[in-house]
Amino acid sequence: MVNTLMQLIRVAAIGPESSGEGEHAKAEVLTQILNEIGFDKIERYDAVDSRVPSGKRPNIVAYFNGKTDAKRLWIVAHLDVVPSGEESLWKVTKPFEPTVKNGCVYGRGSEDNGQSLVASMFAVKALKQLGIKLNRTVALAFVADEEAGSTMGIQHLISKGLFRKNDLIVVPDSGEPKGNFIEIAEKSILWFKVVTIGKQTHGSLPNKGLNAHRIGMQVALALDTKLHQKYNAENDYFTVPISTFEPTKKDKNVDAVNIVPGEDVVYFDCRILPQYNVEDVLADVCRVAAEFEAKTGAKIKVEVIQKQAAPPVLNNESEITLLLKEALMQARGIEAKVGGIGGGTCAAFFRKQGIPAVVWSTIDEVAHQPDEYARIANMVEDAKVFALLATM
Ligand SMILES: [Zn+2]
């Protein structure tokens, strides 16, 4: 399992939004591994994407047939990874040169989502080697584009009609270190950018221009304050019980210290409790932008990058929730609790279709960080739970 995880980490699968080439190369390696394990059927559902050299974003489905195909167990993991971030912050190893240390595999994509990719494959491999004939078919879906909205990934796969209302779906793409948290609800997601256009000028003559950077900062801080104050409800069902509104990315502006920037771009990542309407939040953002436009004379545009309204909260008693709780108790003696997170995993898209999906895995929550790692014991223990779940 460790070797397989390291083999997968070595092939970066970064989306075109982050100047990557997509998942093509990683899909080739994965297909080879799946062939070696010997699944009953492997299918490809590529989405066309002219932004990547291969022209497509691969989605792979591998089936291990049971006695009946009536109610499949699906385990859905994603192939893509986020970029390294600041490389100098990686102390243990370089992002795509995996290494093992203190019982963990380090590298970008180790925890998110390599650990679960490998755990799901090896659960099937173990069942196969033990000669266990399952009642239900197990289908593993390995999808693209999870980190940037999933249009070329799980949404593409769902549009092919592969998933049925009574299927059992697990998305092992979030969780807690004890493995005792089953996620059945997610917040709404709103990503937007604010573009402020002023007038570029010499640093010593600010009166001749309009400093877009200053106005951009003022707008960002005003949004930060306004959104936190207005949408301040708490819901203890969620691990982070409040709505979050974070200014994150900044586009680069001018190249010299003595230039007053004529353009400023700042991005926000908002995770909003389901009780609020995302459209209301967006309307407030536009209102603040308009206020500053009137006040400063700058041109201020708000552009939506991603907007996903939270799907309905899944029933605590859905079959997959109960089975997973049972498997956790039997395999590991874990009493699992059920709740919500900031989102957005592939599970949200199933829930929108009225198909119950749970999110669960055992992780230290180091995804997207420098020195990301996967704990080997977690990978092995999660594989046991998947295998047991398949037999239930
Ligand atoms: Zn992930």
**pLDDT at residue 314, as a whole number:** 65
Q: How many beta carbons lie within 10 A of that of residue 75, not counting itself?
A: 25
pLDDT above 70: residue 19? yes
> Is pLDDT of 313 > 90?
no
- Using DSSP's 3-state secondary structure scheme, residue 218 falls into helix
Per-residue pLDDT tens over the stretch 265-279: 999 999 999 889 999
Instruction: Identify the band that residue 188 occupies on the pLDDT scale cut at 50, 70 and 90.
Output: very high
The per-residue pLDDT for range 322-368, each reduced to its tens digit, is: 999 999 999 999 999 998 888 778 998 998 888 889 999 999 999 99
| 364 CA from centroid of ligand 1 (Å) | 13
Q: What's the pLDDT score for residue 344?
A: 75
Is this model's pTM higher than 0.85 or not? no
Distance 118 CA to ligand 1 centre (A): 14
Where in the sequence numbering do the catalytic residues fall?
80, 146
Laid out side by side, the sheet with 373-375 consists of: 99-101, 104-106, 373-375
**For range 114-130, the mean pLDDT:** 97
What SS3 state is found at 167?
Answer: coil
How far is the C-alpha of 45 from the C-alpha of 48, rounded, in Å?
10
Task: Report pLDDT digits (tens) over 293-303.
Answer: 999 999 999 99
Could you give the CA distance from residue 16 to residue 51 in angstroms, rounded to a whole number? 6
Q: How far is the CA of 279 from the centre of ligand 1 (A)?
A: 26
* pLDDT more than 90, % of the chain: 90
| pLDDT for 315 | 67
366 CA → ligand 1 middle, Å: 11
For residue 224, which amino acid is it? D
Query: Residue 324: what pLDDT?
Result: 97
Q: What is the pLDDT of residues 139-162, one digit of tens each?
A: 999 999 999 989 999 999 999 999
Q: State the helix-helix crossing angle for 2-9 and 115-129, rounded to 10 degrees.
A: 140
Distance 92 CA to ligand 1 centre (A): 21
Helix, strand or coil, per DSSP, at residue 269: strand
Q: Which residues surround ligand 1, an ion (CB under 5 A)?
A: 112-113, 173
Q: Could you give the CA distance from residue 194 to residue 267 in angstroms, rounded to a whole number?
A: 6
Distance 147 CA to ligand 1 centre (A): 7
The encoded tokens of residue 141 equal 């879906």
CA of 39 to the centre of ligand 1 (A): 24
Question: How far apart are the C-alpha atoms of 125 and 231, rounded to whole Å?
Answer: 47
Mean pLDDT of the chain: 95
**Residue 61 CA to ligand 1 centre (angstroms):** 18
Residue 302 CA to residue 294 CA, distance in Å, equals: 15
* Burial classification of residue 248, based on how many CB atoms lie within 10 Å of its CB (0-12 exposed, 13-18 middle, 19 or more buried): exposed
